[in-house]
Amino acid sequence: MASPSIAGTGNSTPAISSGELTSHPPAAPPHGAEPADLMEVAPGGAPTTEGALRMRRKPSVAAADGLTTRTRTDRRQQHDSKRRRTESEDAGEATLRKAASFQADWCSRDLEDGAEGDGLWDRATTRAKRKAALQRSGTSAKSARAAERTELGTFVLSIRPKERCSITSLNPQEVRRAICALSHNQQLAKHQLLRFNKESNTLTVHTCDEKQASAVLKLSALDTPSNPSFPVTVHQVPSDGMSRGVIYDCTPGETSETLVEALDSESVQVLQARPMGKKGAVLMTFASRHPPRYVKYWDFLKRVSPYEPRSVACFRCHGPGHKQDVCPKEKAVCSQCGSSHEEPPDACPQKVKKHCANCGKDGHLGTDKKCPARRLFNKKVKEATQERQSRSKSRR
């Protein structure tokens, strides 16, 4: 039976079967077409095939529209949170500036008329006032005293006794007064640091006053009320901007003053020199992070070897960190049994028993290099040397 034609049309149009629609899909809608423009309806009221296909939107386009909406929302939320955070920080900074200004005003009230000095340390007398003054000037208040000490430069000096006694037995207050008496600048005297080292039996002095450092280097005795004329020797310890080197085959027995006069370097200044041992070795301190390759010794060219500090052990008490000439122990310690007796170690009454006086363990002598206490001390010395070298390299 033939398919009837659609009534009401000027021409006869054959009907489209469902099989032809399935097997021959129409072409895709043109790019940029909107759904409102694609509503094409057949004369019978039903949409045409092309209009029906154009009304169907792709899922990927809808998903993209949803993703764009979420992205815009996230960006808006991030912008709002950033704005609120900025406003909070601005309010906090304003509060700090107001507090610093208030403290600085109170600091200025405590000043006396005609006060000398323009530095912050001259105008402020307490830590809180110094911090407020630094904040008001825009300087970081991380550590005011350390910052000013770094700008001025630090001299490190080591003081050790000439006799067999403990330097830690001195009164700290009396030692401070004796060291401060060598300084003519009381403002720089505020930056000095003193430290006792029990292992090496030394007193370390950190000062920013160059004149005070020169005076301490010339000390031969430390005068305190409890111990008048306490004999000491002083030498300068290299800081981050200094280095040390060794030369050999020099004249034994020369003093430090004679060695400084005899040594000369065209590129580096020789700050200090002292003999090492009795075989003609000389230890020098240079005003540079790296020692020179050569120096002149009485106009004779000498090759400089880098100085590598070694761990020192006492042959009297067998403790690490000091020598027997400055041993703080009153009596000698036996390396065999770890106790004090008049007999030498070869004639020790407890020769069969081995006891170490350093670590307090049995099974090894006090002179054994594998002692845990000596290994720990050597490790600390090595770590300190590596840390100083790394700081020197980072400041090149």
Per-domain residue ranges of the chain: 85-107+121-142, 148-237, 239-308, 324-394
CB 329 within 8 A of CB 317: yes
Alpha helices in the chain, H assignment, sequence order: 18-23, 49-55, 59-109, 120-123, 127-137, 144-152, 172-180, 186-189, 210-217, 256-262, 372-394
pLDDT of residue 263: 94
pLDDT tens for the chain, 396 residues long, are 444 444 444 444 444 444 444 444 555 555 544 444 444 444 555 555 555 545 554 444 444 455 566 677 777 788 787 777 777 667 666 665 655 554 444 444 443 333 333 343 444 455 666 667 666 766 554 455 555 444 445 788 999 888 878 888 889 999 999 998 888 777 777 778 898 988 888 899 988 888 888 889 888 888 888 888 888 989 888 776 788 899 999 999 899 889 999 999 888 889 889 998 889 999 998 888 888 999 999 999 999 998 877 777 888 888 888 878 778 787 888 888 888 877 776 778 776 678 888 888 888 887 888 888 888 888 887 787 777 667 655 555
Beta bridge partners of 286: 243, 270
Q: Please state the pTM of the whole predicted model.
A: 0.49
CATH topology of domain 148-237: Alpha-Beta Plaits (3.30.70)
Identify which of 370, 365, 324 has the alpha carbon closest to the alpha carbon of residue 348.
365
CB atoms within 10 A of CB 304: 20
Q: Quickly list DSSP for 85-100.
A: HHHHHHHHHHHHHHHH
Distances (CA, A) of 154 to 151, 187, 206, 288: 9, 14, 6, 14
Q: How far apart are CA 233 and CA 219, in angstroms?
A: 7
Phi-psi region of 254 (alpha: psi -120 to 50; beta: other; left: phi over 0): beta
Cα angle, residue 162 at apex, residues 230 and 180 outer, rounded to 5°? 45
H or E segment and range at residue 235? strand 230-237
Q: What share of the chain is helix, strand, coil (3-state, %, to 5)?
A: 40, 15, 45
Q: Which pair of structure tokens corresponds to residue 187?
A: 């403002």
